[in-house]
């Protein structure tokens, strides 16, 4: 259910990471190698990136498959960035909300993506939605599980939680309400990347081997470099362009 990737490091053309590698995110849209649920990610895609001197990222999103959009190839060939987040989507409920449901979601300096599914969706939505103020529910960009998870995490970020605390709390709340959910969340503010491994694959590459010596966090490796490292399931990842920290996540109490 989706593939996503975040990069931090020296500015480079987005395509150097998103389309050039042998098993890039582009190829993962039709031929993922480590995706545990679903086989084709053709229900939308998007990329968000940061321009120098502007903390608010720009985004390009579409509802169809990334391989069918010639503008995407031009965009990532010429746009450069030192931080970006991209995703290709396999919808939990096919056809829901089109482009509005495609990651990355955004607010202020943040970009967010979800790989997985809330178990029992949409039956399980009521108790999760009840945790949000009415204004947050009305502001939901789409009627999909990823948009709701983003609203839950964003509420915590706006309340002052650190990024790792916000994602971990969102995972615990959702997993406690909808056991069996797959909750690989990915978040960046252009300076750090925070992610959870909860039910699907997550990998990282940092330093030598990574583009520009930076850091890549991704659902799966985009090449066969042996320096990629898999993140254990039930783990919180915090990364900068030069360092990665892993912290175990515990199952929520029954």
Q: How many residues does the chain have?
A: 254
The owner of tokens 């039930």 is 234
3-state secondary structure the chain: CCEEEEEEEEEEECHHHHCCCCCCHHHHCCCCCCCCCCCCCCCCEEEEECCCCCCCCEEEEECCCHHHCHHHHHHHHHCEEEEEEEEECCCCCCCCCHHHHCCCEEECCEEEEEEEECCCCCCCHHHHHCCCCHHHHHCCCCCCHHHHHHHHHHHHHHCCCCHHHHHHHHHHHHHHHCCCCEEEEEEECCCCEEEEECCCCCEEEECCCCHHHCEEEECCCCCCCCCCEECCCCEEEEECCCCEEEEECCCCCC
**Three-state secondary structure of 121-155:** CCCCHHHHHCCCCHHHHHCCCCCCHHHHHHHHHHH
For residue 249, what are its two tokens? 């996540």
Quick one: residue 82, left, alpha or beta (phi over 0 = left, psi -120 to 50 = alpha)? Answer: alpha
Given the residues 1, 2, 103, 147, select the one marked as catalytic. 2
Catalytic residue check, 144: no
Catalytic residue list: 2
């Amino acid at each position: 259910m989706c593939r996503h990737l975040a990069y931090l490091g020296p500015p480079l053309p987005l395509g150097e990471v998103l389309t050039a590698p042998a098993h890039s995110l582009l190829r993962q849209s039709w031929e993922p190698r480590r995706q545990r649920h679903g086989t084709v990610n053709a229900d939308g895609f998007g990329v968000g990136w940061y321009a120098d001197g502007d903390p608010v990222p720009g985004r390009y999103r579409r509802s169809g498959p990334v391989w069918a959009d010639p503008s995407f190839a031009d965009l990532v060939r010429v746009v450069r960035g030192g931080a970006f987040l991209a995703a290709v989507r396999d919808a939990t409920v096919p056809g829901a909300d089109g482009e509005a449901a495609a990651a990355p979601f955004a607010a202020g300096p943040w970009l967010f993506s979800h790989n997985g599914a809330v178990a029992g969706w949409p039956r399980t939505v009521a108790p999760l939605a009840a945790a949000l103020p009415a204004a947050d529910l009305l502001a939901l960009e789409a009627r999909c599980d990823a948009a709701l998870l983003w609203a839950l995490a964003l509420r915590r970020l706006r309340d002052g939680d650190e990024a790792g605390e916000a994602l971990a709390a969102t995972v615990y709340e959702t997993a406690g309400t909808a056991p069996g959910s797959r909750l690989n969340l990915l978040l960046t503010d252009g300076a750090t990347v925070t992610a959870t491994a909860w039910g699907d694959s997550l990998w990282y590459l940092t330093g030598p081997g990574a583009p520009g010596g930076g850091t890549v966090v991704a659902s799966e490796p985009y090449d066969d470099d042996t320096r990629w490292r898999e993140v254990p399931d039930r783990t919180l990842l915090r990364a900068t362009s030069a360092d990665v920290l892993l912290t175990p996540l515990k199952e929520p109490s029954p």
